[in-house]
Chains A and B, each alone.
Chain A
Amino acid sequence: MEIVKPDQLQELLNSFANKDVYIHLETTNGAYAAHFKEGFFNAGAFIRNVVVKYELGKVAGESPHRVGLKLPSGWIYAQGITHYTVDEHDRLLMAGLDPDGKLAVALEISETPFTY
């Protein structure tokens, strides 16, 4: 993955619009957050291989960026996106990495299902 170039990411988001696509969306503080910092309120969410068709995808703001997908009757968004790549399966993988290189958020878009 490399640091987001907003213009290129915008083009990639456009290329997946109006198609059935598989989504991976994840936010996390890590399973140990409340162990290392007692009282830490640990929250996160994870969905994988949910199929949607978005009509508009946008990258917004300075890094860490926000990425939003407008659906016919709903929304998907992620904030904190710093890195992206298109992998050998033509999947758009976006992630937000903190300064230590720990993933805090991921949003991935693919025309084929992700593995289990």
Chain B
Amino acid sequence: MIKEERHVLVIFPHPDDEAFGVSGTISTYIDMGVPVTYACLTLGEMGRNLGNPPFANRETLPQIRKQELKNAAAAMGLTDLRMMGLRDKTIEFEDDEKMIKLVADLIEDTNPSLIITFYPGLSVHPDHDATGRAVVGAVGRMKESERPTLYTIAFANNTAEILGAPDVIHNVEGAAQKKLNTLNAHASQTVWMMRDMEKRLADKDPEALKWLHEEKFFTYRWE
């Protein structure tokens, strides 16, 4: 059961961050008529997958990933996609106040009842952690009564130790095809993984099906 929301704001640093664990949720909200805004901070300019033989180079990759991001948005039915123009792998080196203001402006503009982002410190990639930090920084400054709920993704190897089990589990089975389409839209990043995953899904591998049908979040707890 997915709770009705006024507006959902999704903030991630890289095209494809939304695909793996949130695209089913985004598609489901859109099907429910809940407006969703996705702010993607970079174009994944520093992605390493160029193929061998290569299909891209360091300078053409951003344009490829930009188009993939637009295709992914279309696959989810998402119409409010915002590309924020920062550079991959540099988020943590930006001015912290600038990052908090970027998030605060998005909140003011969209008035979300729910924000989805990464859990700061448990999200492995420095850009993920820095994005989560900026969101927690911006929401933490709001009056407690006005704060949107914060659903976070965490996948560091020590996540269970620190946070326990995720407290929000969305069944997104109804959006499974849209989720697969979203993942496939990011082909430059996912083509190898999806080859393996589609085989596992065809074999009805229970873990793969669970990965497709369940999306899990940790509600951020304010101290």
Contacts and interface: CB of A to CB of B under 8 A. Distances in A.
Interface of B: 46, 48-54, 57-60, 62, 85, 87, 89, 124-127, 156-157
Contacts of B125: 31-32
Contacts of A87: 57, 59-60
B54 A83 contact: yes
A93 B54 contact: no
Contacts of B126: 31
Interface string A53-95: 0000000000000000000000000000001010100010101
Contacts of B156: 35
B59 A1 contact: no
Interface of A: 1-2, 24, 26, 28, 30-32, 35, 38, 46, 83, 85, 87, 91, 93, 95, 97-104, 106, 108, 114-116
A95 B157 CA distance: 31
Given A31-B125, A95-B58, A106-B58, 16 more contacts: A24-B58, A26-B46, A28-B46, A30-B48, A31-B124, A38-B157, A85-B57, A87-B57, A87-B59, A93-B57, A97-B51, A97-B54, A98-B52, A100-B52, A101-B51, A101-B53
Given A31-B125, A46-B89, A102 B50 contact: yes
B48 A1 contact: no
Contact of B59 (A99, A100, A114): A114
A2 B57 CA distance: 10
A22 to B, nearest CB: 12
A106 B127 CA distance: 21
